[in-house]
Homo-oligomer: A and B are copies of this chain.
Amino acid sequence: MNQYKIALLAGDGIGPEIMREAVKVLKAIEARHRDVQFELQPALFGAAAYFETGKAFPQETMQICDAADAILKGTIGLSHEESQKIPVDEQPERGALLPMRRRYNTFANFRPVYLPKELAFFSPLKEDIIGDGIDFMIIRELVGGLYFGEKVTGINEQGKRYVKETLEYNEDQIKAIVTVAFETAQSRKKVLHNIHKSNVLKSSVLWNEVVSEVAVDYPDVEVKHILVDAAATYLCLNPGQFDVMVMENMFGDILSDEGGGILGSLGLMPSACVGPEKSYYEPSHGSAPDIAGQNIANPYSMIGSVAMMLDMSFGMKKEAHNLWQAMRAVFAAGYCTPDLAKGKNVKLIKTDEFGDMVVAEL
């Protein structure tokens, strides 16, 4: 019997709704596998946790996560206005998400940007740009750079407010993520796009040095260097040229959301945040407070995160594959949630119906 403890952090906004569908799917998989047991442990996280306990990442949640084999996270965050009601350092991103990333050192963030040809209509891009579909992997460094560097705020000699924050990397951090990227490239098309800004940032100069050093061990992988701004252009003009992309934290934040843009929705962006000992899985998108509670958010990114967890944390490759297939089958049958419909001739379904259909397909 394989028993897996999974911490469930539903979070804020649409988090609880899409988490419900993830749980549904996990239960269905469990029911079909006598030798697998998922021990699901919900815990408070994010703004919801803050309002209930005064902490966005409460002690009890930490303990549950510490004891878990993997963590499944929903979405966190409030609207710009609501956020202001929470002290800056307890706002869910600074108070919960970043501390979690740091606590488990989840340095390797995998963000697949994937759209099969038959779903090209979801995308804002023209069909001739999409060609045979979109399929690349963004690998983002997740625990360094501007996100975790020192931040100083104060008043300068002229009596003016100022902020200084630090973008910091050392060669070990870069080597770790770049190695993951080379490994991934080797297992795919053997082309690695290295995203940098070495014409301005000294951190990119070091980054590129390390890329060249690690490259020696992967002679079969072709490295292509591309400036982050050029990458932002080419994601729109010719996404088909990319297979594996590696980049530092902030660049990864922006370009992966651009990736969601070219797919047609951030709702199509699951992700894995992998650390040396523990990993957590989450949609790449925010908590969409504007549509929360309406049962219309697409749970694809959440269920996709489950698939990534099955694959990467539990070695259940076949089940992961089946789950992706099941989601594609739902779309292929002409169903989709309103956010993706784009006025196309599809059968509109709700969040929970999507989950039910995926389970039925499984």
The docked-state distance in angstroms from the alpha carbon of A53 to that of B256 is 42
A127 to chain B, nearest CB (A): 8
Fill in one digit per residue for A148-172: 1 if any B CB lies within 8 Å of its CB, else 0.
0101010010101111111111111
**A232-B258, A237-B261 known; A169 and B160 CB under 8 Å?**
no
Q: Which of B93, B168, B229, B261 lies in contact with A234, CB distance below 8 A?
A: B261
Q: Choose among B162, B199, B264 the residue that contacts A93 (Cβ–Cβ < 8 A).
A: B199
A38 to chain B, nearest CB (A): 31
Is A146 located at the chain interface by the 8 A CB criterion? yes
Within 8 A of B (CB), among A222-237: 225, 227-230, 232-237
Select one of B227, B235, B250 contacting A261, CB under 8 A.
Answer: B235
Taking the complex as formed, is A266 at the interface, i.e. its CB lies under 8 A from any CB of chain B?
yes
Bound-state CA distance A235–B125 (Å) is 12
A15 within 8 A of B: no
Task: Given A232-B232, A266-B233, decide whether A201 and B160 contact each other with a Cβ distance below 8 A.
Answer: no
Interface of A is mostly: helix
B167 lies within 8 A of A206 (CB): no
Min C-beta distance of A94 to chain B, whole Å: 7
| Residue A253 CB within 8 A of the other chain | yes
B201 and A230 form a contact (CB under 8 A): no
Alpha-carbon distance A54/B311, docked complex (angstroms): 55
In the complex, the count of this chain's copies comes to 2
Least distance between A101 CB and chain B CB atoms (Å): 11
Which residues of chain A from 106 to 143 have any CB-CB distance to chain B below 8 Å in the complex? 124-126, 128-129
Indicate if the CB atoms of A206 and B254 lie closer than 8 Å: no
**A172 neighbours in B (Cβ, 8 Å):** 158, 160
With A166-B165, A167-B164 already in contact, the answer to whether A261 and B286 are too (CB < 8 A) is no
Find out whether the CB atom of A206 lies under 8 angstroms from the CB atom of B153.
yes
What is the CA–CA distance of A204 and B254 in the complex, to the nearest angstrom?
15
Task: Give Cα A126 to B199, complex, Å.
Answer: 33
Closest residue to A81 on the B side, CB-wise? B225
| Chain A 3-26 near chain B by CB (<8 Å), digits 1 or 0 | 000000000000000000000000
A305–B219 CA distance with the chains assembled, in angstroms: 44
Task: Report the minimum CB–CB distance from A162 to chain B (whole Å).
Answer: 4
Interface flag for A67 (CB, 8 Å): no
Contact among B146, B171, B202 for A160, CB-based, below 8 A: B171
Given contacts A160-B171, A168-B162, contact A236 B254 (CB under 8 A): no
**Which single member of B83, B166, B209, B230 contacts A257 (CB below 8 Å)?**
B230
User: Which residues in B have their C-beta under 8 angstroms from that of A91?
Assistant: 199
Inter-subunit contact A230/B163 (CB<8 Å): no
- Are A201 and B80 within 8 A (Cβ)? no
The reply to whether A233 and B257 contact each other, CB–CB distance below 8 Å, is: yes
> Which of A128, A129, A199, A286 has the most CB atoms of chain B within a 10 A radius of its CB?
A199
Which residues of B lie under 8 Å from residue A167 when comparing CB positions? 146, 163-167
Q: Does A337 contact B (CB under 8 A)?
A: no
Q: Could you name 6 residue pairs across A and B whose Cβ atoms are closer than 8 Å? A: A124-B126, A162-B170, A163-B167, A165-B201, A229-B257, A232-B232
Q: A153-B202, A163-B167, A232-B258 are in contact. List 5 more A-B contacts (CB 8 A).
A: A80-B225, A98-B200, A160-B171, A165-B167, A232-B257
